[in-house]
Structure 1
Amino acid sequence: MALRTGARAISESIPITETLSLPVSELDITYTRSPGPGGQNVNKVSSAAQLRFDLKHSPSLPDAVKIRAAELAGSRFTKDGEIVIFAARFRAQPKNREDAINRLVELLRAASIRPKFRTPTRPTLGSKKRRLETKVQRSATKRARSGKVALD
């Protein structure tokens, strides 16, 4: 199964990163009637692309990428473990198919980036002193606004 997107043909796999690629056989693309303007053509041609990718059962992605992709997908991630992308930006079917595939690739590319872990550090003595000093100044400002005069 070869998908033709624009001028290039995607034959076997879609590259995501240098080490990660997605086989085209894992994608399920269907076409529906597109909402929005289109004149007489809108009622006859199914130009909107709906891409379904079974993230949960995909053998080509590592588990860590699957978890991050599910979080990034948000409402596009179904209970069955699929990512559903609906593309109807263009009036032409091939452009909508390419748009859906590009959006899936961008999502998986973002999910493949490992987040940097923050190593917790302790505040310095100087920052503690500065914080307490600003608290004392703020307290004095608020006390002065209250109208009560403190007798020292």
Structure 2
Amino acid sequence: MATFPSPRLEREELVVTAGVRIPLREFDFEFMRSSGPGGQNVNKVNTKVRLRWSVAGSSSITESLRERIQDKYRRRITVEGEFLVTSQRFRDQERNRADCLEKLAGLIRDVAVARRTRRPTRPTRASKERRLDQKRRRSRRKQLRRSPGDQE
């Protein structure tokens, strides 16, 4: 039997990071028939899972995190403001449900830490001198390659 990722669930909530925990009651799960191999099982059992999460209506995330999620994943968010994640990787519903939660946690983890803005820096005097010295050496090397009749 294959192992599958098990999302961290504590007291009925999905633990994304130490500071981000989302209650499972905020998620809606839809189950439908999966595509791909699986024989009769595929035709009879609703194993594909679609997770819907209202990003706009969630009280468990900060406003800045909400904005970063909406900016980065705008194609995954419906007009109603619901974040969609689907899984049909496994042949049973429960593992696909866990896979959806793990995918969502990974996506949120990617934007959970705000990117630090770059502070512009100036090159040091020594680095400028090294660069100019290298330019002089390169120029001299190329001058020496020229034949004596090439001077302009």
Provide TM-score, normalisation by structure 1. Answer: 0.76
5+ residue gaps, structure 2, are 1-5
Q: Which residue of 2 aligns with 1:84?
A: 84
Query: Contact 1:11 / 1:24 at 8 angstroms: preserved in 2?
Result: no
- Check if 1:149 corresponds to 2:150: yes
**Alpha-carbon separation, structure 2, partners of 1:143 and 1:32:** 73
- Counterpart Cα distance in 2 of 1:95 and 1:133: 62
Contact 1:55 1:83 in 2 (8 A): yes
Aligned-residue offset at 1:142: 7.4
Identity %: 37
| CA distance in structure 2 between the aligned counterparts of 1:90 and 1:80, rounded to whole angstroms | 29
Deviations 1:59-94 (A, max 9, x none): 211011112223443532334332211101101000
SS in 2 for 1:78: coil
Q: Which amino acid aligns with 2:21?
A: S
- After superposition, the C-alpha distances for 1:100-148 in whole angstroms (9 at most, x for unaligned) are 0111112223322232333221111122233334445556777889998
Give the corresponding residue for 1:3.
none
Q: Which moved more, 1:32-41 or 1:114-123?
A: 114-123
Q: How does 1:6-45 map to 2 (within 5 A)?
A: 12-45=12-45
For residue 33 of structure 2, what is the amino acid of its counterpart?
R
Q: How many residue pairs align between the two structures?
A: 145
Q: Which residue of 1 aligns with 2:93?
A: 93
Task: Tell whether the 8 Å contact from 2:9 to 2:15 is kept in structure 1 after alignment.
Answer: no
Per the alignment, residue 124 of structure 1 pairs with 124
State the Cα deviation string for residues 14-68 of structure 1 (Å, max 9, x = none).
2222332111121111011111101111111110101111112212110111122
Q: Which amino acid aligns with 1:126?
A: A
Structure 1 residues 33 and 11 mapped into 2: Cα distance closer, same or farther (>3 Å)?
farther
TM-score by length of 2: 0.76
2:3 maps to none
